[in-house]
C-alpha cells in the first residue's frame, strides 16, 4: 500500500471532518440524513446480515444505522483522521476501520457482499477507476450517491457564491450525466436495479429554510407527481453485480 499522503483521491478527508458534519447539525440536517438513511436501508432489506464495506464512510452518516441492522461493517478511509467521527463504534468492536487507496482497494475481488460509498463520487476525478474498484470488491451489489445534471444542481456553478453564503463551508462538486454513468457501470458488470432521487429542491434551500416541516410540504407534492424521480438529486442508486 502506498503512503496515504500519495493517494490521488482523498475527498473523504474533508467529508469525515467535524466541519463537514456541522452542515448536518440541527433539525434540518437530521431530516436530510433521515431521508438518505431510510432510502439506503430500504435498498438493503434483501441482504440481512451482509458484510458491507463503506468506502469513504468516515462521515458516519450511515454507521449507526448499518450496525443497528446487524450488518458486518468495515469503513475504509483515505487517512487515519477519517476514523475520528466513528471512533466510538470502532473502539466498541462494532465496526472495523482501514486506511486505503480508493483507486486500489486493499481487498481481493468479491470480499464484501455490499459496497457503499456516499459523499465521494461527487468529488472524485477518476470516477471510472473509482467505480471499477467498488465493483471489483463487491460480491453482490454496490450503492452510490451522486448529483445529476437533470436537476437544479446543474446550475450549481452559477449559484455557488449564494450557496457558500448560506452553507459557509460548501465546495464545488461534479454533476453527472446519469446515462453516461449508468452505461459505464453496465460495461463493468454493474446493472442498475434500484434508484432513489432524494430531493426535488436543492438541499441549500432546505438548509436556508431551517424548517423540516416546510421542506416536507415543498417536497411531498412534487414527489407524488413523479417529478422528484425525474429531476431529483442527489440520486442513490443500487447496482447488482452481474457475474
Q: Give the dihedral sign, CA 194/241/49/234.
A: negative
Distance CA 3, CA 85 (A): 22
Mean pLDDT on 132-146: 98
- Does 206 score more than 80 pLDDT? yes
Domains and CATH numbers, the chain: 4-241 (3.40.50.150)
| pLDDT per residue as tens digits for the range 14-39 | 999 999 999 899 999 999 999 999 99
What secondary structure letter does DSSP report for 13?
H
Residue position matching grid coordinates 487517512: 79
Q: Give the pTM.
A: 0.90
pLDDT at residue 169 greater than cutoff 50: no
Checking if the pLDDT of 184 tops 70, the result is: yes
167 grid coordinates: 452553507
Give residue 175's pLDDT. Answer: 86
* pLDDT, averaged across the chain: 91
| pLDDT at residue 171 tops 70 | no
Please give the pLDDT value at position 6: 80
- What pLDDT is attached to residue 150? 78
In the prediction, which pLDDT does 172 show?
Answer: 60
Lowest mean pLDDT among 27-41, 71-85, 127-141, 157-171: 157-171
Residue for grid cell 446543474: 154
Starting at the edge strand found earlier in the chain, the sheet holding 190-197 runs: 95-99, 72-77, 51-55, 112-117, 138-146, 235-241, 190-197
Collapsed DSSP state (helix, strand, coil) of residue 141 = strand
Span 54-88, pLDDT tens digits: 999 999 999 999 999 999 999 999 999 999 999 99
Q: How many other C-beta atoms are found inside a 10 Å radius of the C-beta of residue 180? A: 12
**231, 150 in Cβ contact below 8 A?**
yes
pLDDT at 167 over 90: no
User: Nearest CA to 236 among 75, 107, 61?
Assistant: 61
Residue appearing with cell numbers 433539525: 27
pLDDT at 164: 45
pLDDT at 204: 86
The Cβ of residue 240 has, within 10 Å, a number of other Cβ atoms equal to 15
pLDDT score recorded for residue 201: 92
- Give the three-state DSSP class for 195: strand
Output the pLDDT for position 136.
98
**Mean pLDDT in residue range 200-223:** 94
Give the Cα separation of 86 and 206 in Å (integer). Answer: 26
Amino acid at each position: 500500500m502506498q503512503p496515504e499522503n500519495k493517494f490521488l483521491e482523498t475527498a473523504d478527508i474533508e467529508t469525515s471532518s467535524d466541519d463537514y458534519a456541522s452542515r448536518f447539525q440541527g433539525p434540518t440536517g437530521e431530516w436530510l440524513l433521515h431521508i438518505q438513511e431510510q432510502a439506503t436501508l430500504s435498498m438493503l432489506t434483501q441482504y440481512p446480515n451482509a458484510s458491507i464495506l463503506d468506502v469513504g464512510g468516515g462521515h458516519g452518516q450511515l454507521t449507526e444505522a448499518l450496525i443497528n441492522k446487524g450488518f458486518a461493517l468495515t469503513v475504509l478511509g483515505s487517512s487515519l483522521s477519517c476514523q475520528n467521527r466513528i471512533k466510538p463504534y470502532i473502539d466498541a468492536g462494532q465496526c472495523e476501520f482501514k486506511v486505503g487507496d480508493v483507486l486500489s482497494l486493499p481487498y481481493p475481488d468479491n470480499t464484501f457482499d455490499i459496497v457503499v460509498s456516499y459523499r465521494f463520487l461527487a468529488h472524485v476525478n477518476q470516477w471510472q477507476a473509482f467505480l471499477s474498484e467498488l465493483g471489483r470488491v463487491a460480491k453482490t451489489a454496490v450503492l452510490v450517491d451522486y448529483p445529476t445534471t437533470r436537476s437544479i444542481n446543474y446550475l450549481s456553478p452559477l449559484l455557488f457564491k449564494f450557496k457558500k453564503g448560506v452553507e459557509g463551508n460548501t465546495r464545488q462538486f461534479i454533476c453527472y450525466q446519469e446515462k453516461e454513468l449508468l452505461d459505464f457501470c453496465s460495461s463493468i458488470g454493474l446493472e442498475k436495479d434500484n434508484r432513489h432521487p432524494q430531493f426535488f429542491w436543492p438541499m441549500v434551500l432546505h438548509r436556508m429554510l431551517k424548517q423540516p416541516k416546510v421542506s416536507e410540504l415543498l417536497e411531498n407534492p412534487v414527489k407524488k407527481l413523479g417529478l422528484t424521480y425525474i429531476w431529483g438529486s442527489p440520486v442513490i442508486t443500487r447496482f447488482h453485480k452481474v457475474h
